[in-house]
Amino acid sequence: MKSATDYNPATYTVGEQVRIAMKFPVGHYRVPMYMRGRTVTISKNLGRHINPEEEAFGRNAGNESWYYMVRIPQTELWQEYNGPDTDMLEIEIFENWLEPIKKDIT
Partner 1 sequence: MSENAHNPHTGRDGDNHPEGHDHAEEHEPIIHEAAPSYYEILEISIRELLTEKGILRPEEIRRQIEVLDSRSPALGAKMVVKAWLDPAYRSRLVQNGNAAAEEMGISIYDNTKLTVLENTPGVHHVIVCTLCSCYPRPILGLPPDWYKSKEYRSRTVREPRAVLAEFGTLIPEEVQVIVQDSTASERYMVLPLRPAGTENFNAEELEALVTRDTMIGVALPSISN
Binding-site ranges for partner 1 (CB under 8 A): 30-32, 34-35, 46, 49-50, 52, 55, 67, 71, 74, 77-78, 81, 83-84, 86-92, 94
| In the complex, minimum distance from the CB of residue 88 to partner 1, in angstroms, rounded to a whole number | 5
| In the complex, minimum distance from the CB of residue 99 to partner 1, in angstroms, rounded to a whole number | 18
The one-letter code for the residue type at 105 is I
| In the complex, minimum distance from the CB of residue 103 to partner 1, in angstroms, rounded to a whole number | 29
| In the complex, minimum distance from the CB of residue 69 to partner 1, in angstroms, rounded to a whole number | 8
> What is the C-alpha end-to-end distance of the chain, expressed in Å?
49
Which of 10/77 has CB closer to partner 1?
Answer: 77
Pick from 35, 19, 39, 8: which is nearest to 98 by CA?
Answer: 19
Measure the CA–CA gap between 22 and 72, rounded to whole angstroms.
Answer: 16
Which of 90/101 has CB closer to partner 1?
Answer: 90
Task: Output DSSP code: residue 77.
Answer: H
Q: Rounded to an integer, what is the distance from CA 53 to the centroid of its chain?
A: 13
- Residues in CB range of 104: below 8 A, 6 or more apart: none
Which of 56/101 has CB closer to partner 1?
Answer: 56
